[in-house]
Structures are given as structure tokens and as C-alpha cells.
Amino acid sequence: MAERYSSFTPGGTRWFLQRITAAFLVVVLAFHFFLLHFVHHAYEIDFMGTQARMEDIGYFLTMVLFLVTAAFHGVNGVYNALVNQGLEGGPKKAVLAVLSLAGLALVAQGIYVALTMSGLI
């Protein structure tokens, strides 16, 4: 039988965070999908409605947390998939740096858009 290999240490912090963020994303994605496809139908979504939703502090914080969680989950998942494929040494450090910078840039841009849409800046 094939041996199972994972770069995650079972019970380790990255392993735990990957599972917690996955559970959170399932719940928030369901909320997001329900709100924007059943409560507000796609043809009803417009700039002003988005601004109005983002002005609600609960919605704003949920969407920012959704962004940060999704970015972490994605970057952590891609990095560990590459490590599982045998990435090591200098390329491993370079990939971690590039993915980390890309994740931080995504979060910074997303928070900037969220703050703009909410009217806070």
C-alpha cells in the first residue's frame, strides 16, 4: 500500500489552522452565497447596494475576515501542496516568500477596497 505523506504535522499549528479556516470558509461562503443569490438576486446587485452592505459594521468585518481567512487558506494550501511534491531548499524559501507577498498584497488591496466601499476612507 502507498505510504501517506503530508508536509503538515498532524496536530501542528499549520495543520490546525488549515482545518479551522476551511470550516470558517464553508460557513461564510454559504452566508455570502445565500445573501447575494437568494436574498439579493444577481440582477439586483449594484454599486450602491454593495456600498450600503459594506457600511454595516457586521457585514464589513465578516467580509474582511472572509478575505483574510481565504488568503491564508489558499496560500498555506498551495505552499504545502508544493512541499508535498518535493519542493525544498532555496526554491522552497523563494516560493514561501513569493506566496506570502502575494497573499499580503491581496489582503492589503482587499482591505483598501472594503474601506473605500464602506466610506471609511
Write down the pTM of the prediction.
0.86
Pull the grid cell for residue 90: 532555496
Q: How far is CA 89 from the centre of its chain?
A: 27
> How far is Cα 38 from Cα 42, in angstroms, rounded to an integer?
9
| Banded pLDDT at 100 (limits 50, 70, 90) | very high
Q: Does the pLDDT at position 62 exceed 90?
A: yes
Q: What is the mean pLDDT of the chain?
A: 91
Residue 17 burial (CB count, 10 A): 15
Domain definitions of the chain by residue range: 13-118
Q: Does the pLDDT at position 104 exceed 60?
A: yes
Angle between helices 57-84 and 13-34 (to 10 degrees): 130
Q: Does the pLDDT at position 88 exceed 60?
A: yes
Phi, psi for residue 7 in degrees, rounded to 5: -75, -15
